[in-house]
Amino acid sequence: MFDGSYTLDTKTGAALHVHHARATGPARAIVLVHHGLAEHAGRYGDLAAALAAKGCHVFAHDHRGHGSTTAADAPLRRFARRNGAEKVLTDCRAVHLDATARHPGLPVIVFGHSMGGLIALNYAERHGRELAGVAVWNANFTAGLEERVGRLALKVEKALKGSDVPSGILQRATFEAWGKAISPRRTMQDWLSHDPAAVDAFIADPLCGFAPTLSMMEDVMALIFQGGSEAGLAMLPAELPVHCLGGTADPATDKGEAVTVLAGRLRLAGVRDVTLQIVEGARHETLNEVPVYRAPAMAGLFGWLDRIVPAGGAAPRPG
C-alpha cells in the first residue's frame, strides 16, 4: 500500500492528488507510476508496496479528469478545455521534479499501464535523458486506418454534440467491444482480469469505469498519434531501457499484438535496449490478474529493474 498522499499544485492550474510510498531499506531509484483511463492512482498500492520493498520510492498521481485531482478546466472525465494532452504531460513533469527534489540523486524510472503507458512513452520522448528506464504495459499505439477514421469520427461527433459528452462511437468501439470479446463472461468488465474480486472492486469504485468525454478521447488519440509517430519515437535516447508488456487475452491490445508491434518499432527507431514480455493468457490489467498471470509479469519487471538499477549501488541518473 501507499504510505500517504499529498497535493501538488502545478503551473497548468491543477491540484494533483499524489500518492507516495517510501523505499524499504536503502533507496536505489524513484518510480513514477501512471494509471490508465477511467481509473485512478489509488489502485496501484500493491505495486507501490512491492516496488518499495525493492528499494524504490514510488509516486503515483491522479491524472487530470481522474480520481481526486482537481483543476478548473478539468472536471471528472475531461483532461482540459483545450490542449489536454500537453497539460497532462506538464503535470507529469511537475511530479517528476517534485520527486527528485524530495529524493535527490536517485535514478528515475517511469511506469505506465494502458493510457498510462501512452503518457509514459510520450513523457520519455521529451525527457528520456533524465530517465533510467520506462515501462510501457498494455498500451496500444496503433495508428492505422481504423484509428484515423475513428479520430475523424470524433471530430464530427464533437461538432454535433459538443466536447463535454461521452463519445458513443468510441464507447462502442472500445470498452463495449472489449467487454463483448470475453466469452463466457460474468460481467462486461471481465476483459480487465480473470480475478472476479478485482473486477467487482473496479465496478464498485465510483471513480472507475466512467465514459470519457469526447475531448478526453481526442486527447488520448493525440497521445497515441504523437507518441507512436516516427518523429516521436526518434526522440527517445538510444540507450534508454524500455520494458514492454502485454497479454495474449487482452482485447485492448489486440491480444498483445499491438505491444509486440510497438517493441519492433522502438528497435527500428534505434532504441537498443527493448525488453518485450508477452504473458500467455493474461487480460488487460496484468497487475490485478490472478497469480498465474501476475507472477511472471512481476518477475519480469523486477528482473529488468535489477538490471538497470542494481541494488546496493544505484546507477547515476542519466544526464
Q: Which of 86-90, 144-148, 209-213 has the lowest mean pLDDT?
A: 144-148
Give the pLDDT mean for 268-282: 98
Hunting for cell 521534479 — which residue is that?
A: 97
Could you tell me the three cell numbers for 130?
Answer: 533524465
Give the pLDDT mean for 309-317: 64
pLDDT exceeds 90 at position 195? yes
Per the CB < 8 A criterion, the answer to whether 281 and 293 are in contact is: yes
Give the pLDDT mean for 218-241: 96
pLDDT exceeds 70 at position 242? yes
pLDDT exceeds 80 at position 148? no
Give the pLDDT mean for 119-140: 98
- Dump strand ranges (E) for 77-167: 108-113, 133-137
Phi, psi (rounded to 5 degrees) for 288 = -110, 20
The predicted structure's pLDDT at residue 167 = 74
Closest by CA position to 221, among listed 212, 234, 231: 212
pLDDT exceeds 80 at position 163? no
Q: At 252, is the pLDDT very low, low, confident or very high (cuts 50, 70, 90)?
A: very high
Give the pLDDT mean for 259-271: 98
Q: At 170, is the pLDDT very low, low, confident or very high (cuts 50, 70, 90)?
A: confident
The predicted structure's pLDDT at residue 172 = 84
pLDDT exceeds 50 at position 16? yes
Give the pLDDT mean for 221-227: 95
State how far the Cα of 173 lies from the Cα of 153, in Å rounded to an integer: 11
Give the pLDDT mean for 113-132: 98
The predicted structure's pLDDT at residue 48 = 98
The predicted structure's pLDDT at residue 189 = 98
Delineate the domains of the chain, giving CATH numbers in brackets.
Answer: 4-142+219-308 (3.40.50.1820)
pLDDT exceeds 50 at position 314? no
Q: Give the contacts of 283 (CB within 8 A, at least 6 positions apart).
A: 182, 190, 191, 192, 193, 194, 247, 249, 250, 289, 293
The predicted structure's pLDDT at residue 146 = 62
Q: Which of 49-58, 84-93, 100-109, 154-163 has the lowest mean pLDDT?
A: 154-163
Q: Which of 39-48, 170-179, 264-273, 281-290 has the lowest mean pLDDT?
A: 170-179
